[in-house]
Amino acid sequence: MWKKIIFLILVIEIIISWPISLVKKPAKFKLETIFYPASQDEEWAFQKKLALDTSKIKRFYYNKTTILKDRYFKNFLVLIDPNNYFFIMHPREDVSGIDYRIKYPFWAIIFLILGTGVIIKNKKYLKLWEWIFGEMILLSFLKQMDGWDIILFLPISWLIFLGLKSLDKYKYSWLLNLTFIILIGIELGRFWL
């Protein structure tokens, strides 16, 4: 009975961190896409890269759509970066449109890795990765992803839950879960200070 309570407390601690962070630091939901006119800085960077080589092949490949591709891939790389979900992004990785907030306690990355192992072994959960990457592909078209990335909450939380369940089958998993409850509780407390 107490093993299930410890497991439930751990699940609740991990799952509530992202919604609590949205309450503490509300998101700005702006529905603007990456298809806006290029800024002067983007134009200058484009002209500098184009001026390095004057070959016709490069001029054909490196055209105005390159600015849109750069915006898209910048957004996509932020969405697939674990720093965005577990480590509040590094300050040097300043990406416009991302508000730095805790989404999951950094200890939860262990459960994400275990959940990935469960999916690899049990191919019936493979649709979960398709769901996650499909949402990331669509979110990358937004200019400012802050707040909109909450649609990734359910699939990533389910993946973490699968990792928690895979760890729970061991004999002394309750002791490990209790340790994680304390560590995650400290981190959530630090977040509120």
pLDDT at 82: 83
Where do the structural domains in the chain lie, given as residue ranges? 2-192
Residues in the chain: 193
* Spatial distance between the Cα atoms of 186 and 163, rounded to a whole number of angstroms: 21
pLDDT at 94: 55
Band the pLDDT of 58: cuts 50, 70, 90. low
What is the chain's mean pLDDT, rounded? 79
| Rounded mean pLDDT, 159-165 | 88
Which range is least confidently modeled, 31-35, 98-102, 108-112, 147-151?
98-102
* Spatial distance between the Cα atoms of 147 and 22, rounded to a whole number of angstroms: 8
CB count in 10 Å sphere of residue 117: 13
pLDDT at 45: 75
For the cut 70, the answer to whether the pLDDT of residue 191 exceeds it is no
| Rounded mean pLDDT, 83-92 | 69
- For residues 146-182, b (16+ Cβ closer than 10 Å) or e, as one string? bbbbeebbebbbbbbbbbbebbbeeeebbeebbebbe
Note if the pTM is more than 0.85: no
Band the pLDDT of 100: cuts 50, 70, 90. low
| Rounded mean pLDDT, 68-73 | 85
Tens of pLDDT, residue by residue over 170-184, are: 777 777 777 877 777
Structure tokens at 145: 């992803």
Band the pLDDT of 122: cuts 50, 70, 90. confident
| Rounded mean pLDDT, 26-52 | 76
